[in-house]
Amino acid sequence: MMKRSLIMLALVWFSVLCGALKAQTLDTAILGTVTDSTGGLVPGASMTVSQPATGFVRSAATNAEGYYEVRYLLPGNYT
């Protein structure tokens, strides 16, 4: 009976730790909208995200509503 209890306890701890591991994934993103000087949305605008410290550069474009997303970025400072 004691062995069975220890196995159950180990399974509970394993399931708890698996949830904590998921929290460590890198799913960082920069997102927003591009507007003109009157506040109107700008569809099809090109933009570039760069990280000068590493030389990383990625380009993106806004959708029909002026919205953009640049996903799967490593933590850091971007321009």
List the one residue out of 35, 38, 39, 37 whose CA is nearest residue 67. 35
- Tens-of-pLDDT digits for all 79 residues of the chain? 677 777 776 666 666 666 555 556 667 899 999 999 999 999 999 999 999 989 999 999 999 999 999 998 888 889 8
Q: What is the pLDDT of residue 51?
A: 92
Q: Where are the domains of the chain?
A: 2-73
> For the chain, how many residues are written?
79
Q: What is the pLDDT of residue 57?
A: 94
Neighbours of 40 (CB within 10 A): 10
